[in-house]
A = this chain, B = another copy of it.
Amino acid sequence: MVTESGASPNIVGKRMRSRREELGLSQERVGVLIGIDESSSRARISRYELGTHEPPVETARLIAKALSVPLAYLYCDEDDVAVWLMELATKSTGQRKALVSQWRQDLR
């Protein structure tokens, strides 16, 4: 029996789900990857994605790591900027600094 949903998915849940599906992982797998016991893993990740519960930032950080994205990706409102943040994170610190420095010139 399905009852009421409660809350609508916030930006974090939306990003979690799309990225998880992109990687072909189950909710349980993501939970186990961040150290949650498999007995409650599905329940927790499900509610994060649906937005009924919200993960603390430290938990969000573990999730971001498991999904191979930077923390800010999970809180980014614009799809194109989110993808850009994800791709930038694959670069080394030195490369990143050089690129960002160059891009900041483009903004003037």
Contacts and interface: CB of A to CB of B under 8 A. Distances in A.
A22 interface: no
Contact of A107 (B73, B91, B101): B91
A12 interface: yes
Interface in A46-100: 54, 56-58, 60, 70-78, 80-85, 87-88, 91, 96-97, 99-100
A108 to B, nearest CB: 9
Interface residues on A, range: 35 or more
B71 A75 contact: yes
Copies in the complex: 2
A87 to B, nearest CB: 5
Given A99-B106, A106-B99, A81 B87 contact: no
Contacts of A81: 72, 85, 88, 96, 100
A50 to B, nearest CB: 14
A71 B80 contact: no
